[in-house]
Chains A and B, each alone.
Chain A
Amino acid sequence: MTVSNVLCFFLPMNVKILFFAGLREALGTASESLALPAGVVTVGALRDQLAARGEPWVALANMKNLRVAVNQQMVGLDAPLKAGDEVAFFPPVTGG
């Protein structure tokens, strides 16, 4: 990994996005780092932005009971989003 790659990854204007369980499998990826697009200021707006990529990303918009965490706290889709946040999308939990 080059120095510029490292800098890019930790660039504070990025958000780190994580996917878990069935959603991770449907999307074929567990995580990505994304420069927060202009105007995307809520979790719901980020979800819409990702879903607009088309298949298989529309799963994010179509999934019933999509759960979201920002910085490892469960939040609603109207929760605010800022650069540097860690955002996770996942199905309802089934532990225990």
Chain B
Amino acid sequence: MSVSVQEADFDAGAEIAALSAGREDVGAVASFVGLVRADKQAEKVGAGDTAPVQAMTLEHYPGMTEKALEAIAAEARGRWDIFGVRVIHRVGRLLPGDRIVLVAVASAHRGEAFAACEFIMDYLKTRAPFWKKEETAAGGRWVDARESDDHAAGRWERD
């Protein structure tokens, strides 16, 4: 199973090791781990809206989430010569410093692994049905989607 949506934490080292376990053709594993940040949301405006994030709750669309992640991983396999993909995304309530997401890609050379890993993250950010709600001293607020994420995903669009 290359895609998991779960409340539990994950062991990035073990997941990376598993991608090349028992094979000698893997020359590169690129990985990305996303974490909950507590820093002040300086780009946001409004009184009380710059309070540090105390916790974050991730909601998702059970069923569609897994399908969307599988489709993104399959798209990456179609675009690059990669041997293995592992995506883990956590849901539920998380605290600053907690791991949210892991994307790891194994290939023969670093170019494919780096590109596919970045592609999967960019598409996950704009196509997988997850929503973040931040908790601060001022209350809860749903995180707004960022235009920069759309631009990042748009770089991979094909004619």
Give me the interface of A with B, judged by CB distance under 8 Å. 18, 20-22, 65, 69, 72-74, 88, 90-96
Contacts and interface: CB of A to CB of B under 8 A. Distances in A.
Interface of B: 34, 58-61, 63-64, 67-68, 89, 100-101, 121, 124-133, 142-145
A72 B143 CA distance: 22
A87 B142 CA distance: 22
Contacts, number: 73
Given A20-B59, A69-B61, A90-B61, A96 B130 contact: yes
A58 to B, nearest CB: 19
A79 to B, nearest CB: 15
A93 B130 contact: yes
9 closest A-B pairs by CB: A95-B130, A92-B145, A21-B131, A72-B64, A22-B142, A96-B125, A94-B143, A94-B132, A96-B124
A95 B133 contact: no
A64 to B, nearest CB: 10
A91 B63 CA distance: 18
A69 B64 CA distance: 9
Contact of A18 (B61, B67, B127, B143): B61
Given A21-B142, A94-B145, A95-B131, A88 B125 contact: no
Contacts of A72: 61, 63-64, 67-68
Contacts of A90: 61, 129, 131
B65 to A, nearest CB: 8
